[in-house]
Amino acid sequence: MSADTAEPTGLTTGSADAASRRREQRGWYFYDFACSVYSTSVLTVFLGPYLTSVAKAAADADGFVHPLGIPVRAGSLFAYAVSVSVVVAVIVMPVVGAAADRTGRKKPLLAAAAYVGAAATTGMFFLDGHRYLLGAFLLIVANASISVSMVLYNAYLPQIAEPDERDAVSSRGWAFGYTSGAFVLVLNLVLYTGHDSFGLSESDAVRICLASAGVWWGAFTIVPLRRLRDRRVT
């Protein structure tokens, strides 16, 4: 085969590789777009005060609740649940990371972590009355899941971007996340502040805001799962 014939083949292959890489990058951005709503609407704004109010409603005369028989001041339940979620994530992340490295199948693990977290967040719709244990459990599951999923998400970056692209690709992912987090938070704040206009109680509005983050997370996770691909371990 002559050089004139071989050269276009090489160029075509290089262009196809670049196009495939860009397609994966666009899919990768959308996981931040999907899960950042949890960080802004749930963890930062709505869940802390709401879970505290539920725990206080269930507290004894001294202001304590007793998850698993352990006395915890109602106002500290949210902080304790977050701390437990961090411990759970620290235990699970090395196991998941090792499994991903050994098998090369990060995508099924990412899907599992994402949808467990999204389901737990959506389940917060049922957090009412005195169900502080349900709220603490769902918070632990969702928070640990997002931590595990982000480890898997970030592990894709070296595979989908050349070294000189990684800063730009990472920045775009953050930008996608901030955009969705801010957008949904604004919508949720409109619903929360105007809940009377929508015929909702304050509790109903908060629970809808919490659940909407889980639905958003689950829905937009479909995009990266369709576009990212696993690599064979050599």
- pLDDT category at 9 given cuts 50, 70, 90 is very low
- CA distances to 89, 106, 114, 184 from 92, in Å: 5, 15, 14, 29
24-227 is classed in which CATH architecture?
A: Up-down Bundle (1.20)
| Least confident segment among 2-16, 72-86, 107-121, 189-203 | 2-16
Q: How confident is the model at residue 1 (pLDDT cuts 50, 70, 90)?
A: very low
8 has a pLDDT exceeding 80: no
**Would you state the pLDDT for residue 4?**
43
pTM of the entire predicted model: 0.90
Average pLDDT of 62-74?
95
User: Where are the domains positioned within the chain?
Assistant: 24-227
Each residue's pLDDT tens digit, 125-142: 999 999 999 999 999 999
Q: What is the pLDDT of residue 102?
A: 87
Counting residues of the chain whose pLDDT is more than 90, the rounded percentage is: 82
